[in-house]
Structure 1
């Protein structure tokens, strides 16, 4: 069922677990994610990133996402991930996404606040929730791999408090040491900062760059303050690995791809200690 993340994240936060946000790039990935969520009886964030528009238009993503979300009985949030401009995000809201993200993390703080608030003001009139981001989750060129002591990209408590107050966002993505894409090692997670922000900020927190960040570290993130954890690279790597196995025909190849995707989602449901949610609507 297609739902809003507002109540879903509050349940996750109260019960100390995280919900995986799985990025879909076509009908196959959306189908596997939602069917796996249904078979596990667990909630899901079905996410479409603006950066994937070259592979899947936002109109196609809205139709595919709503179709598969409404086919299952578990709560599914259709989320527009890493939206970078108001007009694109507005299209997503008007097309039926139940959650959107404005990523202004690379902007100066005041401009990030201004642009995020513009999205919030429009989204809330449509009953859509908004995720904002402060701090910088890089693309591994600046990721904290190994035991780096450079925490200059980490979100500060002061910025987190002020950003939520000034924008009225519904959830907040913060930087505590992860990065998008593949790692050559594991990131150094700033758990002290996570605890500090989660104890002072009222909205649910989000972790980007979850793939291959280490199961033990991600479990701690999920049980110690993060309500949503984004995964993408691990899905693609797993599906590609399965596709390299011998197959007899196209349909067997599809089955292999599906199995690779399913294995990753099932794995992270366990790592995040995701719990069933009895949705009352």
Structure 2
């Protein structure tokens, strides 16, 4: 089917009262596993390529983007392409021609006034080129090796009134909020602030996004979606499924040289993880999976 548009997938999730799972892509195996897992769950899904993943591929966006587009077009469920955590405006400008329908412009580490200014410029550019733009307010810690933020640290939670002003001033289409999760967690122990999520959902007129969702347990994710989260970003959980299988297969066959022998089962492990998490996220806000 044609590659879906993220804005359409988000609108459908909001209308149907469920979440929209979004998974990070680093390699072709990630993209294949995400599409296959979403098919098993019967869920729409977003394939996300981050600025860090582009850097891993030598700063070249098109090879991985075009591979993801082919995977998306071949999938039996709606799949969209999203460029995530973009700090480089030149990379943002490359997104439309590379087949993305949405991007997340990340100015969250800048002083607030500068965040607003740059994000408004990014949203204006995105809208003139047909892209849906996500941004972040508050600090979801753990990115690029930084430690998770204390829940009491300044900026560690998104303020609803400030979030409403930020959306109005920038014109963004979705807002990633800091409500208790952290990037790069390998244990699922993060506790979300469900009351804050409800207050944010009431104050903010655009879909709310949860980053750092790999560290959030299934029941917490379901409760967060019930409180008002819509797009749920997951990355580390795929890598924690993938990497142990590679280690095990290499240990079992130390003389082996064919990467397919360990990449195929590692990809299958990611597929299982995607299928399970996509089913959780795409469940309705009543808590019933559909």
Per the normalisation by structure 1, the TM-score is 0.90
* Counterpart-to-counterpart distance in 2, 1:194 and 1:2: 31
Q: Give per-residue Cα distances to partners, 1:127-165, cap 9 Å, x unaligned.
A: 110001100000161345xxx555751000111101111
Does 1:174 pair with 2:172? no
Gaps of 5+ in 1: 276-281
* Counterpart-to-counterpart distance in 2, 1:243 and 1:127: 40
> Which residue of structure 1 aligns with residue 287 of structure 2?
none
> 1:29/1:183 Cα in 2 relative to 1: closer, same or farther (>3 Å)?
closer
> Which residue of structure 2 aligns with residue 5 of structure 1?
6
The answer on whether the counterparts of 2:107 and 2:115 sit within 8 Å (CA) in structure 1 is: yes
Does 1:259 pair with 2:260? no
> Which residue of structure 1 aligns with residue 288 of structure 2?
none
Write out aligned runs for 1:182-261 (5 A). 182=185, 186-246=189-249, 250-261=259-270
- Deviation of the 1:112 alpha carbon: 1.0
* Counterpart-to-counterpart distance in 2, 1:211 and 1:257: 18
Does 1:98 pair with 2:84? no
The answer on whether the counterparts of 1:222 and 1:273 sit within 8 Å (CA) in structure 2 is: no
* Counterpart-to-counterpart distance in 1, 2:264 and 2:98: 31
Which stretch shifts more, 73-82 or 241-250?
241-250
- Deviation of the 1:41 alpha carbon: 2.5
Does 1:55 pair with 2:52? no
> Which residue of structure 1 aligns with residue 88 of structure 2?
85
> 1:184/1:270 Cα in 2 relative to 1: closer, same or farther (>3 Å)?
closer
Q: Give per-residue Cα distances to partners, 1:223-258, cap 9 Å, x unaligned.
A: 221111111111001111222334665333122111
Corresponding residue SS for 1:95: coil
> Which residue of structure 2 aligns with residue 279 of structure 1?
none
* Counterpart-to-counterpart distance in 1, 2:189 and 2:64: 32
- Deviation of the 1:21 alpha carbon: 1.1
Indicate which of 125, 131, 134 corresponds to 1:131: 134
Corresponding residue SS for 1:176: coil
Per the normalisation by structure 2, the TM-score is 0.87
The answer on whether the counterparts of 1:219 and 1:273 sit within 8 Å (CA) in structure 2 is: no
Tell me the number of residue pairs that the alignment of Structure 1 and Structure 2 aligns. Answer: 272
* Counterpart-to-counterpart distance in 1, 2:92 and 2:188: 34
Gaps of 5+ in 2: 285-290
> 1:167/1:76 Cα in 2 relative to 1: closer, same or farther (>3 Å)?
same
The answer on whether the counterparts of 2:43 and 2:279 sit within 8 Å (CA) in structure 1 is: no
Write out aligned runs for 1:20-31 (5 A). 20-31=21-32
- Deviation of the 1:55 alpha carbon: 2.2
Say what the alpha-carbon RMSD is for the aligned residues.
2.0
